Amino acid sequence: MTRYKLTVEYDGTPFVGWQHQANGMSVQMALETAIEAFSQEKVRVHAAGRTDAGVHALGQVAHFDLEKMFPAYKVREALNYYLRPYPIAILEVQETNEQFHARFSALERFYCYKILCRSAPPALDKKRVWYVKQPLNIEMMQQAANVLIGKHDFTTFRASECQASSPVRTLNSFEITQENDLIFFKVCALSFLHHQVRNMVGSLKLVGENRWTPEDFKKALEAKSRASGGPTAPPEGLYFIQVRY
């Protein structure tokens, strides 16, 4: 038995999300189908994090086991061949040991959310950014985001359908930067609640629009109530960018 570690890039637009769903094609299903096509083995692919429908990945990590042994570079080439119908690319394949687990071995996960701020809507980046016509105040959003760093009860930014046993999480960093018309929200933690990043960004946008103050944002966090938070940012601006092991 050989365990393979994959680094995966994908455009989440046509998928129902990472995980198997009854209502359409998932990234997990596309990968498992491609693996079976070249290896003739049915496998289950495990990911570092489950992304929702429409969410993208630049550095998703996954693993699977095969009875037959193939060189890592041949696995990469074969998977990219069979994945051609889908916007999925296998960037790297490594042989690893059975102690490695894409999800449970992770030490940090990194997400980035992108907002495009300009008068004209996106042509090339449609479905890859959140288009916001009005300018946003970066400094005020960063001031608000700073209160999220550390260990908190994130109920305010937790989806109602979240299945996590606890709303408590620890954010290691939250950095907001701007390059021309693009605003990047980069956040790092061991793990996240369902919709946590999108809900935090949706509330920070209210601060950027001067509809909320940083103090309002802090009070929303402390309220520990989803009803006290802002809207959920759309999925197309979110990217799973990296995992640290």
Q: Which of 31, 62, 96 is the last residue of a domain?
A: 96
Question: Could you confirm whether 153 is annotated as catalytic?
Answer: no
Do 90 and 119 reside in the same domain of the chain? no
Are 43 and 119 contained in the same domain? no
- Which pLDDT score is estimated for 160? 87
For residues 9 and 117, state if they share a domain.
Answer: no
pTM of the model: 0.95
Rounded-to-10 torsion of CA 148, 48, 9, 26: -110
173 and 115 share a domain? yes
In the beta sheet, which residues pair with residue 189?
A: 109, 171
Helices (H), ranges, 158-213:
196-208
Does residue 103 form part of some domain? no
User: Is 131 part of a structural domain of the chain?
Assistant: yes
What's the domain range around 116? 108-244
Task: Write the DSSP symbol of residue 48.
Answer: S
CATH code: domain of residue 210: 3.30.70.660
Which tokens go with 178? 């701007």
Neighbours of 220 (CB within 10 A): 23
Is residue 89 domain-shared with residue 116, that is, in the same domain?
Answer: no
Give the active site residue among 52, 65, 125, 216.
52
Q: For residue 208, give Cα distances in angstroms to 32, 117, 227.
A: 42, 11, 20
Claim to verify: residue 151 and residue 122 sit in the same structural domain: yes
The residue from 53, 76, 96 where one domain ends is 96
Q: Residue 38: which CATH number?
A: 3.30.70.580
Q: Is residue 141 part of a domain?
A: yes
* Domain final position from 47, 76, 96: 96
Q: Is the residue at 102 inside a domain?
A: no
Domain count along the chain: 2
Compute the distance between CA of residue 189 and CA of residue 149 in angstroms, rounded to an integer.
Answer: 9
- Are 112 and 230 in the same domain? yes
- Examine the domain organization and report whether 166 and 235 are in the same domain: yes
Which ranges constitute the DSSP H helices of 21-118?
27-39, 72-82
C-alpha span between 160 and 210 (Å, rounded): 27
pLDDT of residue 221: 98
pLDDT tens, the chain, 245 aa long: 999 999 999 999 999 999 999 899 999 999 999 999 999 999 999 999 999 999 999 999 999 999 999 999 999 999 999 999 999 999 999 999 999 999 999 999 999 999 999 999 999 999 999 999 999 999 999 999 999 999 999 999 999 888 899 999 999 999 999 999 999 999 999 999 999 999 999 999 999 999 999 999 999 999 999 999 999 999 999 999 999 99
Tell whether 83 and 17 lie within a shared domain.
yes
Alpha-carbon distance of 75 to 96, in angstroms, equals 13
Give yes or no: residues 136 and 239 share one domain: yes
Q: How far is CA 44 from CA 39, 48, 66, 156, 221, in A?
A: 13, 13, 10, 34, 38
Q: Report the alpha-carbon angle 37-41-43, nearest 5.
A: 100
In this structure, are 116 and 177 located in the same domain? Answer: yes
The per-residue pLDDT for 44 is: 97
Q: Within a domain: residue 101? A: no
Q: Which residues contact 79 (CB under 8 A, 6 or more apart)?
A: 6, 31, 34, 35, 38, 90, 93
224 shares a domain with 118: yes
